[in-house]
Structures are given as structure tokens and as C-alpha cells.
Amino acid sequence: MQDLLIPKMTVIGTGLIGGSLALALKAAGAVGVVTGVGRGLANLQQAVELGVIDRFSQDAEAAVADADVVFLSTPVKTLPVMAARVLPHMKPGAILTDGGSVKEHIVAEIEPLVPAGVHFVPGHPIAGTERSGAVAAFASLYQDRRCILTPTERTDTKALELVRRMWQAAGSEVVTMDVTKHDRILAAISHLPHMVAYALVNAVASDDRYGEDILKYSAGGFRDFTRIASSDPSMWRDIALTNREALLDMIGGFESMLAELKQDIADGQDDSLFNFFLRSKERRDALL
């Protein structure tokens, strides 16, 4: 029998991201025993029943002691807190890696805590849904998607290689980039759209001029555009606050674009409006 890539893995935060990684690696035959750690007992019990994890523990320190890989998948601000708790209990040669949506903050907080002999490889799968918890996890989440790893000069090459192979086994194409570039790209392509979706739902729902909830009249467009406003509020609070500068920059750019649109509508600038919509349509069509 071929050696397993990861004989023992511990997932801290057994939700959509950690649970889906466990399922994908199981399906690929890349992992042996998966231990889930979390706060909610019901979620952990359900994760075992669904076959997402093999066993669970609410004692994070004990649960990492024999792990070859520890995957952190709690909300962003909690990641360094959990890392601080478990790093001193990891065995020599073990790898700590994560799936957090923001990287500069996490790397700055976690890297100084890593003891000699243990390795940290920061990562972020660019795949997800608006759903949360182990019940939302599925094995094909990472299939044909990208995963970004953000190694630093301190990152161990062999550990980086193993984490790369882990995400490839889960079905993803792995790319590497520096933390700053990662956070700027994600602020644009993921964090801004979530802020706009949340703001749009609130803007429309706050219109109470008609004495009824006008959201019930929403057609496909509103629903497609705002699906991500159903995402977990605590997860997005953490992302907004830890990628603050890059996100504020993108919100500023978006405000300017909206102001330009508003002005053209106010001034009845038909050519300008047409070209604005055309430019956007061509870019969006090219994405399909």
C-alpha cells in the first residue's frame, strides 16, 4: 500500500472549510485519521455522523499532540488565538496550516509563535459558499478551484511542498504569492463584493415607504447578486477588520465608480452610460 500523505490530521474549526478539506482528502485516500476540534458539541457529533471526521475532541491541546498536519479553519481573528494554544503541543516535524481569508494579519500574528521543529504554512482556498458548519461541508468543494499559499522566507520548503500536495489531492490548483498581494487581490475580488452585497440588502430592505417588505418582489437578479449576503456575520466582521486598509481602498474606488454612474444618470448622459454598461458587460462576459 502507498504511504498516506497525511496519516493523522486535526481540523480546528470543523465547519464548511475544514470539513470539506477532510472529506476531499478522505475521498482522495490522502489522509488517515481525522480528528475534529470545535466549540459546539452538536456540530462535532454531527460531523462524525456525516463521516466528515473520524473522532472529535474539545481539548485542542490534546487533539494536536499526535497530528502530522493541523488545519486551522476558525474565523480569522480566532486563528492566532487557537495557534497560540496548540503550537506548544505539536510534535516535532508537524505542520500547522490554515484556510483563513486574510493572510498578512494571520502571518504576522502566528509566525512569531512557531517553535523550532514545527512548521507553519499559511494558505487560503479560493472556494466556499454562503453556508456554515460541518453540515455544509462537501468533498468536491475544492475541485478545479485555486488555493493560494503565502509562504514567507521563514517557511520550510518541505512543509510547503506537503501542503501543496494536500491541496492538489483535494482537487485544487495551487499558486503561491506574497501576503500583501494576496490581501489586495482578495479585497478586490471577494471582500468588496461581500460588503456591497450586505450593503445592498440593507439599503433595499430599509425602504419602508410601502408598509411591506419589498424584498419579496425580488427576481433572479437580486437573488443572484446578494446570495453572499447570507454568509456568516462573524466571519465577515473578522475579514473586514483584519484586511481593513486594502478593503477601505477598494470601497473608495467603488464609491468613485458609483458616483460617476450617479452623475451620468442625473445628467442624462446616454452615451457615457451606454459605454459604462458595455465596458462592464464585456469584462463580465469574458469571465464566463
Ligand X SMILES: O=C(O)C(=O)Cc1ccc(O)cc1
Ligand Y SMILES: NC(=O)C1=CN([C@@H]2O[C@H](COP(=O)(O)OP(=O)(O)OC[C@H]3O[C@@H](n4cnc5c(N)ncnc54)[C@H](O)[C@@H]3O)[C@@H](O)[C@H]2O)C=CC1
Using CB under 6 A, list all residues that contact ligand Y.
12-18, 38-40, 43, 73-76, 78, 82, 99-101, 124-125, 128-129, 132-133, 232, 235, 239
Q: Shortest distance, CB of residue 123 to ligand Y, whole angstroms? A: 9
Angstrom CA distances, 263 to 81, 113, 252, 270, stand at: 47, 51, 16, 11
228 binds, among ligand Y, ligand X, none (CB under 5 to 8 A by kind): ligand X
Q: Which is nearer to ligand Y, 76 or 121 (CB)?
A: 76
10 binds, among ligand Y, ligand X, none (CB under 5 to 8 A by kind): none
- The span from the CA of 29 to the CA of 165, in Å, is 13
Contact present, 164 and 147 (Cβ < 8 Å): no
Q: Shortest distance, CB of residue 134 to ligand X, whole angstroms? A: 17
Query: Which residues of this protein are in contact with ligand X, per CB under 6 A?
Result: 101, 126, 128-130, 190, 228
222 grid coordinates: 437580486
Q: Which is nearer to ligand X, 228 or 247 (CB)?
A: 228
43 binds, among ligand Y, ligand X, none (CB under 5 to 8 A by kind): ligand Y
Which stretch of DSSP H or E encloses residue 8?
strand 6-12
Eight-state DSSP code of residue 175: E
Q: Which is nearer to ligand X, 46 or 190 (CB)?
A: 190
- At 105, phi and psi to the nearest 5? -60, -45
Which amino acid is located at 249 in the chain? D
Q: Which is nearer to ligand X, 163 or 235 (CB)?
A: 235
